[in-house]
Structure 1
Amino acid sequence: METSVKVRTQMYIDGQWTEACSDAKSTILNPATGEVVAEVAYGGAQEAQQAVEAAYQAFPAWANSTADERAAILRQIYHLIIDKADRLAEIMTLEQGKPFEEAKGEVLWGAEFMLWYAEEARRVYGEIIPPSGHRQRLLVQRQPIGVVGAITPWNFPSSMITRKLAPALAAGCTVVVKPAPETPLSAIALFEIFEQAGLPRGVANLVLGDAQEIGSVLVSSEKVRKISFTGSTQVGKYLMEQSAKTVKKVSLELGGHAPYIVFNDADLDLAVDGLMINKFQNNGQTCICANRIFVHSEVADAFTVKLVEKVKGLKVGNGLDPANQVGPLIHQQALEKVMEHVQDAVSKGAVIVAGGQPLTEGEYARGNFYQPTVLCGVTPDMKVYREETFGPVAPIIVFNTDEEVVQMANDTPYGLAAYLYTRDLARTMRVSNELEYGMVGINASTLGYVQAPFGGIKQSGMGREGGRHGLEDYLEYKFLNLNF
C-alpha cells in the first residue's frame, strides 16, 4: 500500500460499513506512480437497491426534522472536514493526482458548502397568496423532493460530493452517492466524517462499483425522485433519457468547451495570470477550464510570449512533492487523448511553442504525465478546437473583431463557462450578453463560489449548484387551498 494514511475500503449503506455482496474488489492506482493505493469494495445492482431502500426508509424522519436539527449536523460536518483537511487532501492526491495544496484547497472549498447550506436550511420559505374568498387561505409549502441519486466525477472527488449533498440534506432529502470508480477513497473518507457527525442511518449512503448497474438502479427506481449528475454529456443524456421513464427531476452539469477571450485593450499580465490558474488547475482536467484561447491580433504576439514564459516555468510531477505545481493525468486513456489532440493539431498546421510531449523518463516513467503545452495557429478544423481536451493544452486562436470572436466562441454545442478580458465597459456588457454560456468570468478566471449558481446551458446541462439557487432543485411546491 503506497499511503501514509489509513484508508477504509468499504461501502456505507444504512449506517453500516459493508463489503460487496460478491466480495468483489476494485484496484485503485496512483496516477503519478502506477502503484496500488487500495483495493475497494466493488458492488452493483444489489447494493444500489439496498442503498435506495435505506434512503427511502430514512426519508420521512429526516424530512420532518427541523431546519435547525439538520443545520447542526451540517455545521458539525463542516468542522470535521476542516479538522481533517490534510488527511482528505493526501488521500485525494494519492488516488487522483492533483498537487497536495491544490487538493487541500478543494477540500476546504467543499467544506464551505456544508456551512453555507446549514444556513440556507433555515430559509426554505413558503408563501401566502391573496385568496379568492373571505373564508379561504391559499398557502404554498416547499417540501423536500425525496430520495436523491448523486453521481459524482473523479476530477473533483471531494467537493462535488459536498456540493450535491449539502443542499440535498439541508432541504430534507436523503441521498445515495455513486462516486467515480477512479476516486472512491475521497468519498469513503467523507462518509467516515458523516458518520462521526451523527448523520442518522440511511440519510446518506455510499455505493461503489459497476457504474452501469448502479446507475440503472438509480434512474429506474420509483423511490428515487431526483438524479444529480456531474460528468460527460454522453452519460448525462443517457441518464436524462432513462429518468424520463419515471419522470424524475434531473440536474446535469456536463461537458464544457470554454472560450477565453483576450481583447486588444486587456491587461495582458492579468489575462495571462488568470489563464495559468484556469488552464492548468488540476492539469486542465476541469469542465470550466479554457479550451479555446481567443486573442486579438493586435496583442497576440505579446500575449503568447508572456504565456509561454510562464508555462515553461511550471514544475510537473508527483503531487505529494510540494515543489510540483502540475500533477499527472488521471489515467492512460486521458494521456492518449491529449497526445491525439496535439498530434492532430500539428498535422493540420498548428505550431507547438511550449511543451507538446508526454513525460516518460525517470520519475515520470510509471505515471501519466504530459508537458504543459501551448499551440499557435489553431484553426476550426482541428480536434483541439472542436472537442474538450481535458488536459494541459492551451490552443491560441487569433481574431480581429468583436463580432467574429463572439461567433467563434458560440460555435459549439456546449455552454458552461466563458471568460473575457477587456477594460471597455460597453464591450463587457455587450459581449457578456451575447455569449451563450451559463457563467461568464470578466477579467477573472474563477467561477466556483458557494454563494453563486454554478451550471450551464445548451448541452452543458441544466439546473444549478451553489447559492440559494442550488437548494431549489431539491424542493417541491405544494399548494394548499384552505377553507373554513
Structure 2
Amino acid sequence: MSVATQTQVCDRPLFIGGSWRPGGGGEWLEVLNPADESVVSRHAVATATDLDEALAAAQTGFETWRQTTPLHRSEVLRGAAALIRQRLDPIARDLTREQGKPLAQARMEIEGCARHFEWAAEEGRRAYGRVIPANQPGLMWTVTRHPVGPVAAFTPWNFPASQAAGKIGSALAAGCSMILKGPEDAPGGCIALAQALADAGLPAGVLNLVFGRPAEISAHLIASPIIRKVSFTGSVPVGKLLAQQAAGHMKPCTMELGGHAPVMVFADMDPIEVAQTLVQGKFRNAGQVCISPTRFYVEAPIYDQVVEAFVAGAEKLVVGDGLDPRTEMGPLAHDRRLAAVEAAVIGAVEAGAQVRTGGERLGN
C-alpha cells in the first residue's frame, strides 16, 4: 500500500504490527491544505484498543529487533533512505499540500530524512562500549550498550517528516522499537517514512504509527509499562506536561522544545548582506521554525541600514501557494497560527512598536 504517493484526497491510516488499518472506532478527521482550505487527506483516529495493540506490537517488535545485528539494522535504514530518495517528488508534494511550505523547502526536508536515516545507520554500527580500569588485580570492568526498549515519540507539524525521521532513525539504529504519534495537521510525511521502512524489510511491530487526539494518546502510551523512553518535539507547555507524566513512571525523556532565538548583528558586518540572511532565516517555513529569530540586536552604527534592507527584503518575498514554483513563503500551517500571529502584531503595536511593512493578511 503506497498511500504516501497518492495525489488525490487520500486516507492516512494507522500502521500497527506491520499493517495499515483504520482506527477501531472508524473515525477519520480531515486534513486541510492551508493555501486554500481544501480537503487533501484525512487521518484515522486511534482508539484505546488501537493503542494497546500498538503497544503489544512494539513489545513483540522490540524482542525481534534487539536481537538483530547492528549491521542488518544499518542495511534496513540505508534501504529506506534509498527508497525515500526515489519517491522524493510525490512525498514533497504531499508535504506541501498538507503543511503549506514551498515545494523547494519540502524537497529539502524529505532529502534530509534520507540523510537522517543514513547517519543513524552508520552511528548504529559504532555503538561501542568501554573497558574501565579495575581497582583490584584480576578484575575487568566493561560497559556495553543495549537498547532501552520501546519508545513513545511525539513529533510536530512544522517539520512533519524530518522531525519524525530523526527520532525513528536514532531509535531503530540503537535496536529500539517505537510508537510514533505523528502530527495530525500533516500526517503524510510520517506515512511515507513508515512505508519506506516497511518496504526496506523492517520487521512488523518495530515501528508503529498512530494519529488521533494527542492528549489521549500521550497519556495512554506514557503510562504503559511497555514504554521505556519518551521523545517529544514541540512547545514548552506540552513538553512540561509530558515530562511530568513520564516522571510519574520514572521514564527518561528527550525534549526538544520551542526556542526563543536572538540574532546579534555587529557593526563590522555588511548590513545589506546580513539583512538578506536575516530575511531568509525569519521567513523560512513562514517563521514556523523552533530556531526562527524572535528578536534582533543590531549595533547602532548600522542599525538603520539593516532595518531598511530587512524591510526591503521582506517586501520582495513572493507569498502564495507552496506548489507554485514562484512562491518563497507559503501560508501559515493552520488557523491557530494565523490567530496567534495576528495577536502578536496587535500586541506589539499596542506596546509601541512601529509596523514598517505587512502587519495584516495578504489576499485570502
TM-score interval, normalised by the smaller of the two chains = over 0.9
In structure 1, the partner of 2:188 is: 185
Deviation at 1:273, TM superposition (A): 2.1
State the alpha-carbon separation in 1 of the partners of residues 216 and 7 from structure 2.
33
Matched, 1:292 2:291: no
Identity rate, percent:
39
Determine the structure 2 residue equivalent to 1:77: 80
8 A contact 2:262–2:293 mirrored in 1: yes
In structure 1, the partner of 2:147 is: 144
Report whether the alignment pairs 1:207 with 2:227. no
- Alpha-carbon contact 1:8-1:185 (below 8 Å) kept: no
Q: Which has the higher helix share?
A: 2
Match of 1:275 in 2: 278
| Aligned-partner SS, 1:229 | strand
Instruction: Note the C-alpha offset of 1:16.
Output: 0.7
Cα deviation code 1:146-172 (max 9, x no counterpart): 100110000000000101111110000
Where structure 1 has 5 or more consecutive residues not aligned to the other structure, the ranges are 366-484
Deviation at 1:6, TM superposition (A): 7.5
Secondary structure at the aligned position of 1:123 is classed as coil
**Aligned residue identity for 2:268:** D
Specify the alignment match of 1:114 in structure 2.
117
Q: Which amino acid aligns with 2:165?
A: T
Q: 1:341 aligns with which of 344, 352, 360?
A: 344
2:240 paired residue number = 237
CA deviation profile, 1:44-76 (whole Å, cap 9, x unmatched): 322222111111111122112111000000000
Deviation track 1:307-352 (CA, whole Å, cap 9, x = no partner) reads 1111110000000000111000011121111111111111222111
Letter in 1 for 2:195: E
- CA distance, structure 1, for counterparts of residue 75 and residue 329 of structure 2: 37
Structure 2 match to 1:163: 166
Match of 2:3 in 1: none
Matched, 1:22 2:25: yes
> CA offset at residue 245 of structure 1?
1.4
What amino acid is aligned across from residue 101 of structure 1 in structure 2? A
Q: Count the aligned residue pairs.
A: 359
Indicate the SS of the match to 1:125.
coil
| Between 43-52 and 218-227, the greater mean CA deviation after superposition | 43-52
SS at match of 1:199: coil
String of CA shifts for 1:370-392, please: whole Å, max 9, x gaps.
xxxxxxxxxxxxxxxxxxxxxxx
Q: C-alpha distance in 2, partners of 1:277/1:146?
A: 40
SS in 2 for 1:23: coil
Per-residue deviation at 1:135?
Answer: 3.1
User: Is the contact made by 1:263 and 1:296 (CA closer than 8 Å) also made in structure 2?
Assistant: yes
Distance in 1 (CA, whole Å) between partners of 2:193 and 2:337 is 26
1:32 corresponds to which of 27, 32, 35? 35
Whole-Å separation in 1 of the counterparts to 2:351 and 2:128: 57
- Alignment of 1:97 onto 2:134: no
Which whole-Å deviations, capped at 9, do the CAs of 1:96-143 have from their partners, x for residues lacking one? 000111100111112101011111111101111222333322111111
- Provide the rounded CA distance (Å) in 2 between the counterparts of 1:171 and 1:144: 6
Residue type of the alignment partner of 2:292: C
**Residue 96 of structure 2 is aligned to residue 128 of structure 1:** no
**Which residue type is aligned with residue 231 of structure 2?**
S
Q: Once the two structures are superposed, what CA deviation does each residue of 1:203-242 show, in whole Å capped at 9, x if it has no partner?
A: 0000111111110112111110111000010010000001
Q: Which amino acid in the other structure matches residue 271 of structure 2?
A: L
Structure 1 length-normalised TM: 0.73
Contact 1:44 1:210 in 2 (8 A): no
Which letter does structure 2 place at the counterpart of 1:263?
F
What's 1:466 paired with?
A: none
Alpha-carbon distance, 1:8 to partner: 4.5
Deviation of 1:39 after TM superposition, in Å, equals 2.1
Output one character per residue of 1:395-431: Cα deviation in whole Å (capped at 9) or x when no partner. xxxxxxxxxxxxxxxxxxxxxxxxxxxxxxxxxxxxx
SS in 2 for 1:230: strand
| Aligned counterpart for 2:263 among listed residues 246, 260, 265 | 260
Measured after TM superposition, the shift of residue 193 of structure 1 is 1.1
Give distance in 2, aligned partners of 1:77 and 1:269. Answer: 42
Q: Does 1:41 align with 2:20?
A: no
Contact 1:121 1:170 in 2 (8 A): yes
Answering whether residue 333 of structure 2 is matched by residue 330 of structure 1, we say yes
Please give the secondary structure, in 1, of the residue aligned with 2:297: strand
Q: Which whole-Å deviations, capped at 9, do the CAs of 1:427-464 have from their partners, x for residues lacking one?
A: xxxxxxxxxxxxxxxxxxxxxxxxxxxxxxxxxxxxxx
Q: Quick check: 1:316 aligned with 2:319?
A: yes
Q: Secondary structure at the match of 1:253?
A: strand
* Distance across 2 between alignment mates of 1:142 and 1:113: 21
Measured against aligned partners, the alpha-carbon deviations of 1:4-36 in whole angstroms (never above 9, x if no partner) come to 357442110000111100000111000000100
| Higher strand residue share | 1
How much has 1:267 moved relative to structure 2? 2.6
Mind listing any 5+ residue stretches in structure 2 that lack a counterpart? 1-5
